Structure 1
Amino acid sequence: MDGSVAQQHLSLGRFSAAHLASFLERSHARLCAVLVLLSLACFLPGFTTLQPMDRDEPRYAQASKQMLETGDFVDVRFQDEARYKKPVGIYWMQSASVALGDALGVSEARTTIALYRIPSLLGAIATVLLTYWAALAFLGRRGAFLTAALMASCVILMVEARLAKTDAMLAACSVAVMGGLARAYLSRGAGVLPRRALLIFWTGFALGILIKGPLILMFAGLTAAVLAYRERSTRWLLTLRPWLGLAFTLAVVLPWFVAIAIRSGGDFYAQAVGHDMLGKVGTAQKYHWAPPGFYLLAFFGTFWPGAILAAIAVPFAWIHRREEPVAFALAWIVPSWLVFEAVPTKLPHYTLPLLPAIAIVTIMAISRHFVGPHRPLAKLSTVLIPFIPVGLTIGLSAANWSFDGTLPYRALPAMVAASAIALYAWWLFIRNRMLSCLWAGFLSSVCLAVGVFGFAQLDLRSLKISDRLAETVRGKMNVGTLGYREPSLVFLVGTNLAMLDGASEASAFLKNSSCAAVFVDRRFENDFMAANERNRLAPALSTRVSGFNINSGKRVEIGVYSVDAGCP
């Protein structure tokens, strides 16, 4: 009797799991709801507490803040400097987000970095949902869901969801365009595309141009060119209704491009094309140089936990390259990837818009039982699944001890759990339980997000230099900085922060200002004190802030000198 009851409970458990899966897969809305919940679990920890991350994030946020301060939504500026590197789309989105927060009564909305991150959060969630939509052109509902879940849990999208930059929203626009293009190619015999697919395609295309200029053209153009060569025809592109779509695109993007041309006298195009875009191709962007192969190596970190599974799927893509779905995915990935590898300027997030195609091929290979422990070296190579969380746990603990003399105690339970679950995912792979391995990877990613972004960054006080400096000068009307010039300081202290070029200028700034403070990097303090003696000035040393500047890779110590005369 006991054995019979146990068997019934086991059968009931199996029935319940199967019933739950069947219940979810019966509806796109249910699957998308689960994807949104997974995305929020991966993207929200630390969203409001992570400091403005130098240098790009506060540059975007500060330029958006200045739009609100000046009421000028055409020109893009960082303090007095024109910021003509990217189009205006993301600045409008960030400004609207902050204006809404301000209207809803958020305290100090314009210096609340989380409000500027909301477009990136929405872009990351849209990337996940649009990946599901795009993958439905290649796979069934379960396969499309797993593909989108790989995107929701991958490291690089988790990072970009928390940064007030263009990349998460660009990824959403890109996958919208490529999902529409896939439907045009894979259903080209039908001769017509649903109106919804056309709307998604052209909206993604127009917004992509308004957010990051020609990149969306590169992704779609190179893919279309490869497939047109394969077909020896471009007629299948006509199903996208190009003339109507281009008219829509021009209606969306042309007003601002004309307005900025008039406002800047052509300087926008000179800087955006001549310096920023061509500079990446040449040598101007020397600070982010890396050799070819950088993205291939970085991929194993950026696309974790799915990266090693994708690597095992590479032979599948080659063997099945003549199949139309695989051919499309390869046309999506390979040409743009080669361009990124060839360009000297390299940053890990550049290849983010290509990752949905890699996820599609990976799930294709898994669904056909190609990926598993039977593949050469697979059992050994999948040690990378636990390696990333274990490495982060050790590395962040060592960094916290080195910089702050303590351990990230609040983060350790979640990071250890992420490591243990990832180790279990490795074991599941070895046992050829691929679906369970994927789910364990998703859960490990959630735990990692909680540990790293939710807690570990809170304990790394030495990295929060600008935040700590800004706290020391609240209420000061005039603030300058000598030696430490990170954009996050401008964002947190205010647009009028004076960037001082020497000790004499810093001393004169204090002498000629009322209720003023100056941040002085230790390298300049002796000269600063000498200049004060010449000016017969004796500012008070309020405090010192020491930490580690991740951009310069150096420890810094900054004195906060102030004069309180004239303070309210």
Structure 2
Amino acid sequence: MAISEPASNTRRAFDLDLPRRLVRLLDGASARHGRASLLLVAVALLAFLPGFFQLSPIDRDEARFAQATKQMLESGNYVDIRFHTQARHKKPVGIYWLQAATVRAGEAVIGPSALYSIWLYRLPSLFAAIGAVLLTYWTALAFVTRRGALLAGLMMAGCVLLGVEARLAKTDAVLLFTIIASFGALARAYMRPATERAGDLKLAAIFWTGLAAGILIKGPMAPLFVGLPILALAIVERSGGFLKPLKPLMGLAWCALLVLPWFVAIYFVTNGAFYQHAVGVDMLGKVAEGAEGHWGPPGTYFLAAWGTFWPSVVLVAMAAPFAWRARREEKVRFLLCWLVPTWLVFEIAVTKLPHYVLPLYPALAILTALAVERGAMAKAGSRLAGLVWIWPVLAIVLSLGLGAAYLWFGSGFGLAAWPLLALAIVLLWSAARAFPRVGVEGAFLTALVGTLVLFFAIYQVMLPQMRALWISERLAQVARDEGCPAEKIASFPYQEPSLVFLVGTKINYILPDAAAVLLKQGGCSLAFIDTRFHTWFETKATEIGLKYHAVATLSGFTYNGGRQVAITVYRSDEAAP
């Protein structure tokens, strides 16, 4: 008893001391807007930067966006959007312009290699994700105190899904930023008394500029996210008078002025083909059927949120009874109208991807912060209080799964990762243990620290070292070592977008017999041929008398196809013409 008691006291002191220190930090940071913003930026950087520079281009969406931007820079055509040899008529031009701007700035610093540096294409997503955290804080100030707004911002900073999007060179983090800006202005307009709803140029500029930017980023998705809540509020209020501060007529004209030039230009450049594909195939097709295999039944987003909005989702579940009881209150009504109609639309739509509902997560964070501020969260001993144990349980499951994946796909045992995973589990376990004594804020902040450690272990240490996953990066390294230009390189059947980005736009995605003909032309030329198709390549090579040799055989795992592959790199021995 004398031996175990001090150990127990030490553990109890750790469980309580860290949460209390974190609560004091929250109190201090909420004293001023500057301090609160600084803390949010610091936590966001700790959450988003691990792996940002190290991770190879991710197939398929990120690599497609980045490659399309690269082709804009190479061609000088900033209106039409193309990927490799095909038109890319899916999303508007906004994200490509943002990426092109950061790459051009990068070229001025690091030179031509900027075109192939994926982290430069990711910068708009990183900046937008940090901005989204700050805008969540700003929007929340219309509903809660500075302390509550800071808590809402921290929930978004620790959000798993936002952390993923911050590291990807695609649209969703930027769309989130534009949507929250519009909702921050809309909330302030809505909360005004009916007698004070005169036009407000500042709020109107924020709302309509945010909407226009969202349209240029992801087309009709921005009006959907903003329009459905406005419609719901108008139905509930039986009036649209709350829109008066936003100057609807002037605002619509300003929005049209910002978005129409490119939309008109792309119509004439593509002879209407952009709209036929973007609206008729990409958007409407996703509503009617599971596009690209991304199908899910109603309820998919509800279940996914337990992982994608982790660790904050535990607090959201605890706040649910409050949201129902207070549903008629003005503030809660606004947040529910922001959240519920759009969520239901996405649950009904056939195509489902986790990031589709990301712009609804700030409403969850603010609603939860409001419940915390009202003292309406689950108390120790209640049924919902047991949800805090999801934190350590999920961390343990995730760590075991990642550990197994690392042993399978990585190089070596990965000693650096295991202590970090263990520390994350200890912190999340401590958060659950501390909840009855320190309350929801101290427990959540401790869980957030554990989550940041987990992010570092996964993104900075484990994923970059899983070499079997990064096939394109390894093939591109062989191409650089051999010194062959992209137009003299062929690949079959491995034709991921990341290979185009890393090797070069002019890489040839052709059949094995055509690859043999390419090598026959002589000079420095390569063929990446899956071992399953060696016979096809070798038969044609023999037929045309090709002289060649194998440079290397690379084994890996295609995370899109979900299978093991082995690719042999052949080099021509033919003399240059």
TM-score by length of 1: 0.94
1:540 to 544, 549, 563: 549
Q: Name the CA shift for 1:106/1:145 in 2 (closer, same or farther; >3 Å).
A: farther
CA–CA distance in 1 between the matches of 2:81 and 2:358?
25
- 2-side partners of 1:386 and 1:136: how far apart? 31
Contact 2:59 2:497 (C-alpha < 8 Å) held by counterparts: yes
Partners of 2:19 and 2:75 in 1: CA distance: 62
Question: Which residues in structure 2 correspond to 1:120-135 (within 5 Å)?
Answer: 120-135=125-140
Residue type at the aligned position of 2:247: R
Distance 1:418 1:19, change over 3 A: closer
- Structure 2 partner of 1:267: 273
Provide closer, same or farther for how the CA distance between residues 530 and 564 of structure 1 changes in structure 2, counting only shifts above 3 A.
closer
Aligned-pair distance for 1:482?
A: 0.8
For 2:495, what is the secondary structure of its paired residue? coil
In the TM superposition, what is the alpha-carbon distance from 1:192 to its structure 2 partner? 3.3
User: What secondary structure sits across from 1:440 in the alignment?
Assistant: helix
Q: Is 1:140 the counterpart of 2:150 in the alignment?
A: no
1:411–1:454 CA contact under 8 A, matched in 2: no
What is the match of residue 4 of structure 1? none
Change beyond 3 A, Cα 1:562–1:419: same
Does the CA-based 8 Å contact 2:346-2:357 persist in structure 1?
yes
> For the Cα contact (< 8 Å) 2:23–2:445, is it kept in 1?
no
> Structure 2 matches for 1:192-341, cutoff 5 A?
192=198, 194-283=200-289, 285-341=291-347
Whole-angstrom CA distance in 1 between matches of 2:197 and 2:166: 37
Contact 1:428 1:434 in 2 (8 A): no
Aligned equivalent of 2:506: 496
Aligned to 1:191: 197
The CA distance in 2 between the partners of 1:445 and 1:419, in whole Å, is 9
Paired residue for 2:95, among 90, 96, 111? 90
Secondary structure, aligned partner of 2:509: strand
Letter matched to residue 341 of structure 1: E
Q: Conserved in 2, the CA contact under 8 Å of 1:188 and 1:239?
A: no
- Report the Cα offset of residue 379 of structure 1: 3.7
Pairing of 1:109-124 with structure 2 (within 5 A) = 109-124=114-129
- How far the C-alpha of 1:432 sits from its partner, in A, is 5.1
Pair 1:560-2:575 in alignment: no
Q: Distance in 2 between matches of 1:513 and 1:85?
A: 38
SS of 1:406's partner is: coil
Q: Given the superposition, is the C-alpha separation of residues 19 and 315 from structure 1 closer, same or farther in structure 2, using an over 3 Å criterion?
A: closer
Contact 2:512 / 2:533 at 8 angstroms: preserved in 1? yes
2:529 aligned counterpart, secondary structure:
strand
Could you tell me which of 43, 48, 52 is aligned with 2:53? 48
Q: How many Å separate the matches in 2 of 1:68 and 1:408?
A: 39
For the pair 1:346 / 2:346, whether they are aligned, the reply is no
Residue 417 of structure 1 deviates from its aligned partner by: 1.5
Q: Distance in 1 between matches of 2:30 and 2:200?
A: 23
Cα deviation 1:166-204 (Å, max 9, x = unaligned): 000000111111111111111143213654333221221
Whether contact under 8 Å (2:411, 2:467) holds in the other structure is no
Q: CA deviation at 1:45?
A: 0.8
Once the two structures are overlaid, the 10-residue window that deviates more, 192-201 or 446-455, is 192-201
Q: Within 5 Å, which residues of 2 pair with 1:428-439?
A: 428-431=434-437, 433-439=439-445
Cα drift, residue 415 of structure 1 = 2.0
Shift of 1:209: 0.4
TM-score for both structures, normalised by structure 2: 0.93
Q: Which of 420, 425, 429 in structure 2 is aligned with 1:423?
A: 429
Percentage of pairs with the same residue: 45
Distance 1:246 1:567, change over 3 A: farther
Kindly indicate whether the alpha-carbon contact (under 8 Å) linking 2:204 and 2:246 is maintained by their aligned counterparts in 1. yes
Letter in 2 for 1:266: G
CA contact (8 A) 1:466 1:489 kept: yes
SS of residue paired to 2:367: helix
Q: CA RMSD in A?
A: 2.0
Task: Name the amino acid aligned to 1:486.
Answer: E
For 2:6, the equivalent position in structure 1 comes to none
Alpha-carbon distance change, 102 to 267 in structure 1, aligned in 2, over 3 angstroms:
same
In the TM superposition, residue 15 of structure 1 has moved relative to its aligned partner by 12
5+ long unaligned stretches in structure 2: 1-17
Deviates more, 1:346-355 or 1:183-192: 183-192
Q: Is the deviation greater in 401-410 or in 120-129?
A: 401-410
Change (3 A) 1:81 1:133: same
* 1:523 equivalent among 532, 546, 559: 532
Aligned match of 2:520 in 511, 515, 518? Answer: 511
Q: Deviations over 1:295-338 (max 9, x none)?
A: 11110000011112111211111111000111111101111111
Cα distance in 2 for residues equivalent to 1:82 and 1:20: 51
User: How far apart, in 2, do the equivalents of 1:74 and 1:200 lie?
Assistant: 26
* Partner in structure 2 of residue 9 of structure 1: none
Tell me how far apart the structure 2 counterparts of residues 123 and 566 of structure 1 sit (CA, whole Å): 51
Residue 468, structure 1, aligned to residue 474, structure 2: yes
Q: What is the alpha-carbon distance in structure 2 between the residues aligned to residue 562 and residue 306 of structure 1?
A: 53
Give 1:6's aligned residue.
Answer: none
